[in-house]
Structure 1
Amino acid sequence: MNTATKLSGFALGLAAVFGTAYGVGHLTDPVTPAAGTRHDATDAGHAGSATGHGDGAPGAAAAHLPGGLLVSDRGYTLQPVTAATGEFAFRITGPDGRPVTRYDVAHDKRMHLIVARRDLSGFRHVHPELAADGTWRVASPLAGPGAWRAYADFTPTGGEPLTLGVDVTVPGTLAERPLPAPATSTTVDGYTVTLTGAPEPGRSSRLTLTVSRDGRPVTDLQPYLGAYGHLVALRRGDLAYLHVHPEGAPGDGRTPAGPAVTFSAEVPSVGTYRLYLDFRHGDAVHTAEFTVVAGPQPPAPAPAVPTTATTTPTTTGVPTTTTAPTPEADHGSPGHGHS
């Protein structure tokens, strides 16, 4: 059963809640790193940041965490700023404290902004526009109330690729969405996407996503940001971020335009992940989503025993309340859903 949650906060123009150093969610799955794992692996053309926990300062810990967990790293800080209603705006400040205004192009864009609700629904991948004062602006991708994580994926000119993350709250009443169960096939916009392969913690894994429509393979995928597909993985719990791209490239003479798009991805730890595949066809971008488990399936939590409350008068005149298990309780867990 969905839980209705009342959220309050600033207006949408600046609905950002973030720590001075970093913001991470409560861990609901085990996220034990694989032995000997480096957590900075992505494709050679677009490395995700290997950011550290703590105050954002460079250090040994920074080399062992995936991207998106810090709001500040290597002297660069993600700062949401006041924006007009219906708009999202932010700046990246550099080691000198000033807004950064020069960025390298990576996959056809200087900035990739990715957002997802903390329940791993509502994923969006958009591309803001840079103003002369270093402010990035875009029509708000935050589609409805909730606690969101926003990721800025960029390369400052003269610096290393970085992924910074910040928590953002949109006020309103939220119906929390349970995470869909792991599956190897999903549908989106009339397309069926099938996943072959499974991520293995601490090593490169081949993941192949095959696109079909009306039972026929799609062999004319269109290039999108210099590729036939983009894959983002978010780890359930802390929403650690991994951004990878497929093998090959459009126009290289050997990479087919579908139906299969193959990725080499390395997840940083055992745990549950949500995969988001962006692909372009029919002059529109579509996003297919999967839940996958890396490593052993985490054990299901023991079901709570429903109780009934009984109020009993006492000699002091102050009633006391006791609880007891409800007989013949239904212990079935609610089904997964993602609308």
Structure 2
Amino acid sequence: MRRLSATDWIFALVAFLVVAGAGVMLFRSTPAPVHHQQAAAVVPASHSDGLSEVEGGYRFERVVMPSGRGTAVPVAFRIRAADGTPMTRFVDNQTKQMHFFVIRDDMHVFRHVHPKLEGDTWHTEVDLPDGGAYRMFAEFIPLDTKDPRHPVVLGVPFSVAGDTTLAEVPAPDARTVTATGYTVTRVDEPAVLPVLNERSLRFAIRTPDGQPVTKLETHLGANGHMTGFHTMLLSATHLHPVEPAGAPLIDGELTFRSVFAERGEYRLFLEFSHAGRLHTAAVTVAVT
């Protein structure tokens, strides 16, 4: 057998390197296995916001903020579009262009008023009987909206200085009594609501003498108005009445459609008109 020369050894080494390199390239070019993940379940769109003073290109601009407790405390603000233009016209939402809410963080102070436009600035007054941490909400429907059922809600925190009498947020309960003596009882099931699921909430309304309310007077163009607030986040949720305005109530029951976006507890404020007066009922619901 012929002994390999130095040249033979060089050619052998080069061949080995070529083969090894090709193997490495082949290994690297082999695609990794693809793991297909199941698509996330589609859930109903929810309306729960007011946690920011900017949303959808609109911005809440403070002009006059509450300076202390009292009656008829002035508030003024502007709504600016993305280009900075003050917005002075919106779609009518339950007969009003602008709904304005104030809620204290313990849910024991709730105000719902409708600001008036002066020039490019919205003005209103609210009663603030006690100090504490509050949040105000401006709710409106832009003229170019694609979903008039879901308004834009901008929220701004503020505080009222001085001694404050705070109370615990009421626990979930199906029954409540208004300051005017009307009993409002939630009669739908289940008691604990699933998050991100559209549900109908039914409330049986009784007069102070225990009689079912068979017909409500129109309030804001409907049988009633309901807004909910998450008791920890202070996000706002608008609920829509089902029965048409002026329609008789079967067994005194009024129905609202709802979708809650976060788990936790919500304080719901139901406003309805009967016997020539506006009544407000507050009830807490749990969402899991």
DSSP-derived class of the 1:172 partner: coil
Maintained 8 Å contact 1:37/1:202: no
Per-residue deviation, residues 15-35 of structure 1 (Å, max 9, x unmatched): xxxxxxxxxxxxxxxxxxxx8
Q: Which of 76, 84, 92 does residue 79 from structure 2 map onto?
A: 92
**1:207 aligned residue:** 201
C-alpha distance in 2 between matches for 1:280 and 1:116: 21
C-alpha distance in 1 between matches for 2:65 and 2:287: 39
Per-residue deviation, residues 146-204 of structure 1 (Å, max 9, x unmatched): 21111111012224630111101122211211111221111111100111224321111
Deviates more, 1:164-173 or 1:84-93: 84-93
Q: 1:109 to 1:193 in 2, by over 3 A?
A: same
- In structure 1, what residue type is equivalent to 2:157? D
1:17-36 to 2 correspondences below 5 Å: 36=41
- In structure 1, what residue type is equivalent to 2:258? A
Is 2:104 the counterpart of 1:112?
A: no
Maintained 8 Å contact 1:88/1:141: no
Is 2:273 the counterpart of 1:283?
A: no
Deviates more, 1:109-118 or 1:97-106: 97-106
Is 2:213 the counterpart of 1:218?
A: yes
Per-residue deviation, residues 3-44 of structure 1 (Å, max 9, x unmatched): xxxxxxxxxxxxxxxxxxxxxxxxxxxxxxxx8475743xxx
Q: As a proportion of its length, which structure holds more helix? A: 2
**1:73 aligned residue:** 55
1:1-339 to 2 correspondences below 5 Å: 36=41, 38=43, 40-41=45-46, 48=47, 66-82=48-64, 86-132=73-119, 134-159=120-145, 161-188=151-178, 189-197=180-188, 198=191, 199-213=193-207, 214-251=209-246, 255-257=247-249, 259-295=252-288
C-alpha distance in 2 between matches for 1:195 and 1:120: 19
Maintained 8 Å contact 2:133/2:160: yes
5+ unaligned residues in a row in structure 2: which ranges? 1-39, 68-72
How many pairs were matched up?
Answer: 234
C-alpha distance in 1 between matches for 2:128 and 2:82: 29
C-alpha distance in 1 between matches for 2:49 and 2:158: 17
- In structure 1, what residue type is equivalent to 2:54? S
Maintained 8 Å contact 2:101/2:112: yes
Maintained 8 Å contact 2:44/2:197: no
- In structure 1, what residue type is equivalent to 2:234? L
Per-residue deviation, residues 48-80 of structure 1 (Å, max 9, x unmatched): 4xxxxxxxxxxxxxxxxx311111012211122
Q: Which has the higher contact order (CA 8 A, sep 6+)?
A: 1
5+ unaligned residues in a row in structure 1: which ranges? 1-34, 42-47, 49-65, 296-339
C-alpha distance in 2 between matches for 1:172 and 1:39: 43
Maintained 8 Å contact 1:37/1:268: no
Q: What do you get for the CA RMSD once the two structures are aligned?
A: 2.0
